[in-house]
């Protein structure tokens, strides 16, 4: 069950057990709808070829504009904690300003090690607001 929603888990778990006892063979899948919150406005987004930091609750999010594609990822470089939103865009990667580690803003993967990943977050636009699901 999804740990963000313990009350849903307590509600659904008994029903899953009952379904199994009744002989249901198909596995259940509980879909939790994303919780989008306002991050910024479209006018505040970084220009093409730039990255920018945005506060979001207790996190800071790196928004990158790579060839007109806006993406959101964790702002903390896994190498030494550098602020990715203060970095630059080279090719299609966000480059950490501290030690040059490169990150794919669409997947969160490090260019030098595909097993090193920062979290990426879905974005959507509602009117002039840019919404994020963290």
Domains and CATH numbers, the chain: 1-32 (no CATH), 37-132 (2.102.10.10)
Query: What pLDDT score does 8 carry?
Result: 46
Q: What is the pTM of this model?
A: 0.75
pLDDT band at 7 (very low <50, low <70, confident <90, very high): very low
Query: What pLDDT score does 128 carry?
Result: 97
Higher pLDDT, 19 or 5: 19
Query: What pLDDT score does 3 carry?
Result: 45
Query: What pLDDT score does 114 carry?
Result: 85
CB atoms within 10 A of CB 40: 20
Residue 49 carries which DSSP code?
Answer: T
Q: What's the Cα-to-Cα distance from 47 to each of 40, 67, 88, rounded to whole Å?
A: 14, 10, 12
pLDDT at position 5 over 90? no
* List of E strands, the chain: 37-41, 50-56, 59-66, 69-74, 88-90, 93-95, 102-103, 120-121, 123-126, 129-132
């Amino acid at each position: 069950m999804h740990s963000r929603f313990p009350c849903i888990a307590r509600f659904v778990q008994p029903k899953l057990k009952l379904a199994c006892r009744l002989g249901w063979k198909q596995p259940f899948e509980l879909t939790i709808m994303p919780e989008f919150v306002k991050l910024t406005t479209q006018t505040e987004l970084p220009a093409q070829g730039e990255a920018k930091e945005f506060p979001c609750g207790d996190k800071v999010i790196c928004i990158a504009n790579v060839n007109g594609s806006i993406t959101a990822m964790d702002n903390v470089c896994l190498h030494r904690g550098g602020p990715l939103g203060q970095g630059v865009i080279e090719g299609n990667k966000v480059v950490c300003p501290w030690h040059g580690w490169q990150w794919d803003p669409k997947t969160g993967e490090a260019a030098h090690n595909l097993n090193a990943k920062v979290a990426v977050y879905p974005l959507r636009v509602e009117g002039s607001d840019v919404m994020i699901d963290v």
